[in-house]
Structure 1
């Protein structure tokens, strides 16, 4: 994104449904309960087991893939839409650091024979591939990486496609705990995934109208969360995909309430969002 970004009019689309998964919540409903001040469950979950992935493939699927597919499936089911109707955008700020670590170690050793399965799962679009194959969808599926700006970049990408291609979109944000060797640089210990189904603003489906403007020559920090839960706050600080929690929290506000966010989009631009 550069200062030359021009936008003749705001982007608009409708948020129709959501899906979510984290160590202490297994659905968007459970996440809402934490937003509302609910207590954390006593036991932390290790990872989702998305039923949409066939059993043989699910056993080989790494955690980032399972996170993305689980929340995507939840959002599609909640929207009551078949996956083959949804163009997809997937994003992970870190990618699969466990597999990156594994591949670097093997390639630096005397025996450079990589596991074919792990090599297959190491590509950044692995989650999108598992999703499209498991659901038999032939719609386009993009995979994005934007480090700490992953959420805003991907939301902008999805809204552009939604409006200008007049296409319903599945948008999925996901990041897994970082491998031990990289934690001094990327200190994230939490698994998180969140999905949105977006429809063109003209759709008759019920939902929240989301309006976006790109602001050039502008900078900002990520907005603070209202939720005081330590676990949610920790997620928001360390997991790049969990930056979408500020949007999720805004979706929880009553209809008619003043709801606006400004997110960093690049070193010199921001994305302003309003909800109605």
Structure 2
């Protein structure tokens, strides 16, 4: 894959309310405390749409806004790639309960929130962004799939691309079929060229067959990485937070690994 540059990061996760707070934790300077944090209300949505948002939509949007506002990137002028292992388990569970009831009535709001690209739709409404957007799903490899798609789009369009990966725990009984731990949403603003905001470059390739995923030194963060597909990004975020050159491996599709070489951009 061609080289891509990281310009900014946004983060919202269980115990990690934003990127600035998360960085000393990821560097090992502060302990990680897996405390639940209320999802921020998307105040930048119009009131009618704000009332209709599900938790997965709130989760997806908050990290993206942080990534763009931190460097004053125009929110309405950015390609987006949304990726999630399964979308809104909350809404799917509610629809399943409705269909299993005597009335079998499905709320129109729940129905339109159940589609996989619902976060992208609400993002467009909130930001007035009319640029193209892609929504992906690759189960546990969804972050890797989103990263590859974002790199391809950045080079094809020659425009910055915002990658947003998000996953949220499912209610029972869906949680028994796919156990997801906590909430995790990360946003990376990527570009194909060295713009003024570029902080790191990423060289991404398919690793050799014997490669294994990079693990976390912190036991709680390692459990988070394994049990939340969007949190597969944690080893990359550690390298970015430590501001160091590094080589990491992240789970991709069909049992493969992405090999990611992280380099500091010298300005």
Please provide the CA RMSD for this pair.
2.0
Which residue among 251, 259, 270 is the counterpart of 2:240?
Answer: 251
- The TM-score with structure 1 as length reference comes to 0.88
Gaps of 5+ in 1: 1-9
Q: 1:173-202 CA deviation, whole Å, 9 max, x = no partner?
A: 111111111222222240111100111234
What is the DSSP-based 3-state SS (H/G/I as helix, E as strand, rest coil) of the residue aligned with 1:11? Answer: coil
Say whether the 8 Å CA contact 1:34–1:229 is kept in structure 2: no
Asked if 1:174 corresponds to 2:161, the answer is no
Show the counterpart of 1:94.
Answer: 86
Bigger shift: residues 38-47 or 13-22: 38-47
Deviation of 1:211 (Å): 1.1
Whole-angstrom CA distance in 2 between matches of 1:219 and 1:41: 33
Whole-angstrom CA distance in 2 between matches of 1:155 and 1:213: 11
Count of aligned pairs between the two proteins: 262
Show the counterpart of 2:144.
Answer: 152
Asked if 1:197 corresponds to 2:184, the answer is no
Asked if 1:38 corresponds to 2:27, the answer is no
Whole-angstrom CA distance in 2 between matches of 1:201 and 1:58: 36
Q: 1:22-75 CA deviation, whole Å, 9 max, x = no partner?
A: 232211111113223424569631212233223332232111100111000000
Distance 1:121 1:247, change over 3 A: same
Deviation of 1:204 (Å): 3.6
Asked if 1:116 corresponds to 2:108, the answer is yes
Which residue among 262, 266, 269 is the counterpart of 2:249?
Answer: 262
- The TM-score with structure 2 as length reference comes to 0.91
Whole-angstrom CA distance in 2 between matches of 1:40 and 1:155: 26
Whole-angstrom CA distance in 2 between matches of 1:156 and 1:28: 22
Asked if 1:221 corresponds to 2:212, the answer is yes
Say whether the 8 Å CA contact 2:75–2:127 is kept in structure 1: yes
Say whether the 8 Å CA contact 2:168–2:184 is kept in structure 1: yes
What is the DSSP-based 3-state SS (H/G/I as helix, E as strand, rest coil) of the residue aligned with 2:153? Answer: helix
What is the DSSP-based 3-state SS (H/G/I as helix, E as strand, rest coil) of the residue aligned with 2:242? Answer: coil
Which residue among 49, 59, 64 is the counterpart of 2:51?
Answer: 59
Say whether the 8 Å CA contact 1:76–1:83 is kept in structure 2: yes
Gaps of 5+ in 2: none
